[in-house]
Amino acid sequence: MNTNPKHKQSAQGAAEPSEGQDPSLRRQLLAVAREAAAAGAAVLAERGRGRVAADTKSAAGDWVTDFDRRAEMAVRDVIAAARPNDAITGEEYGRTVPAEPSGYRWSIDPLDGTANFVRGIVYYCTSVAVFGPLDETAAATPAEKAASEATTDAADVPGHPAAPGGNSLAADAAAMDAGTHGWLAAAVNAPALGTEYYAAAGDGAWLVDSTLHVGSDARRGGSATRAQRLAGGDREEAGRLLATGFGYDADRRQFQVGALLGLMPGFANVRRIGSAALDLCLVADGTLDAYAEYGTQEFDWAAGALIAAEAGLPVLRPRTDPGWQAAGHLDFDALPAGEPAT
């Protein structure tokens, strides 16, 4: 395992459930994650043929559609109904914190791979994950509530790590380092592919592939009738594939391409799927061998990173924004520290 202090703790895999955490809670959180992801995916499944109308957010190609917005509301409705005291952070509607926060927070991307979706490329999905205390007996203590309320107040302060446009990655990483918090459950639902990936901390990663018939064989090993446990691919296999992605800013793309060249030794080729969540899931099921991308947002990797970790793979979560997110059998020390100042 990587011993570079830059990556030492962020490279850890899934959270280890504590003795104070009831397994039934993880199962409940996973059930909510799967239901919420399925609700978002059902909205995406309404897509017909042809190109979808889209608005530009930050740059050419950075699109948002009515499907993004409706899918996020569908996801939020499921979570709010089942877990009304949990906070939610979503790509389209930002952060929502209830009056009496439970200490659990959901990170959702209603449509990861919007450019693919707009163009009619089938690699897109709804991604849902939940972060929280590993010991639920401490989740609703006055100290935990105070911490949540402090974060809520700070979210109104521009430039604060928890403010819109900022992040709490460093705080989350510190809590993971301390063994008090972690990513607990996740689901990624890709309706055009007919696949659902999911995981709960300590319970493994799983795939249901509705496109397969009973008894059929595929590398992913999924089944239309039962879930298949994932364990990544063969790290010694010839022709290894590395997945990555590129940002919209020209300077960042130049940095990402240069970094990619340094990562290519040991890999036969590279793939750019267009959905970070699915990149991570495809590493988990062995279709891809590794994935690394600089500058993704938490909602892009939250669910997929837990799924990859629960498949037994090394996972790197960023501590800063922007930062590196990676998974699979990849030398994390080969990742540059960050893009040069401009």
pLDDT tens per residue, range 265-306: 889 899 999 999 999 999 999 999 999 999 999 999 999 999
Residue 313 pLDDT: 97
Residue 146 pLDDT: 41
Band (160; pLDDT cuts 50, 70, 90): very low
Task: Calculate the dihedral angle through the C-alpha atoms of 252, 258, 261, 263, rounding to the nearest 10 degrees.
Answer: -60
Residue extent(s) of CATH 3.40.190.80 domains in the chain: 241-329
CATH fold of the domain at 241-329: D-Maltodextrin-Binding Protein; domain 2 (3.40.190)
Residue 119 pLDDT: 87
Least confident of 33-42, 121-130, 165-174, 297-306: 165-174
Least confident of 14-28, 122-136, 157-171, 240-254: 157-171
What's the pTM?
Answer: 0.84
Residue 67 pLDDT: 84
Residue 17 pLDDT: 57
Least confident of 36-40, 86-90, 198-202, 215-219: 215-219
Residue extent(s) of CATH 3.30.540.10 domains in the chain: 23-229
Residue 336 CA to its chain's centroid (Å)? 22
For 242, residues 6+ apart whose C-beta sits below 8 A from its C-beta are 260, 263, 264, 267, 269, 270, 271, 288, 289, 290, 291, 292, 330
pLDDT at 104 over 80: yes
Residue-by-residue DSSP string for 36-58? HHHHHHHHHTT--SSPPP-EESS
Least confident of 12-16, 79-83, 104-108, 328-332: 12-16
Q: Give the number of other Cβ atoms within 10 Å of residue 94's Cβ.
A: 11
pLDDT tens per residue, range 205-235: 999 988 764 444 444 555 555 789 999 988 7
Task: Calculate the dihedral angle through the C-alpha atoms of 111, 169, 339, 121, rounding to the nearest 10 degrees.
Answer: -10
- CB environment 208-230: b (16+ within 10 A), e (fewer): bbeebeeeeeeebebbeeebbeb
User: Percentage helix, strand, coil, to 5, in the chain?
Assistant: 30, 20, 50
Residue 189 pLDDT: 97
pLDDT at 262 over 70: yes
State the average pLDDT for the chain.
Answer: 81
Residue 152 pLDDT: 41
pLDDT at 56 over 80: no
Residue 126 pLDDT: 97
Question: What is the number of helices (H) and of strands (E) in the chain?
Answer: 8, 15
Q: Evaluate whether 133 touches 103 at the Cβ level (below 8 Å).
A: yes
| Strands 290-294 vs 324-328: parallel, antiparallel or unpaired | antiparallel
Residue 4 CA to its chain's centroid (Å)? 23
Residue 326 pLDDT: 96
CA distance 47 to 50: 9
DSSP letter (8 states) at residue 18: P
pLDDT tens per residue, range 178-213: 999 999 999 999 999 999 999 999 999 999 988 764
Residue 150 pLDDT: 41
CA distance 244 to 330: 12
Write out 181-244 in H/E/C secondary structure: EEEEEEEEEECCCCEEEEEECCCCEEEEECCCCCCCCCCCCCCCCCCEECCCCCCCCCCCEEEC
Query: What DSSP element (H or E) covers 127?
Result: strand 125-133
CA distance 254 to 71: 33
The mean per-residue pLDDT over the stretch 54-75 comes to 74
β-partners of residue 206 are 198, 229
Range 23-229 has CATH code 3.30.540.10: yes
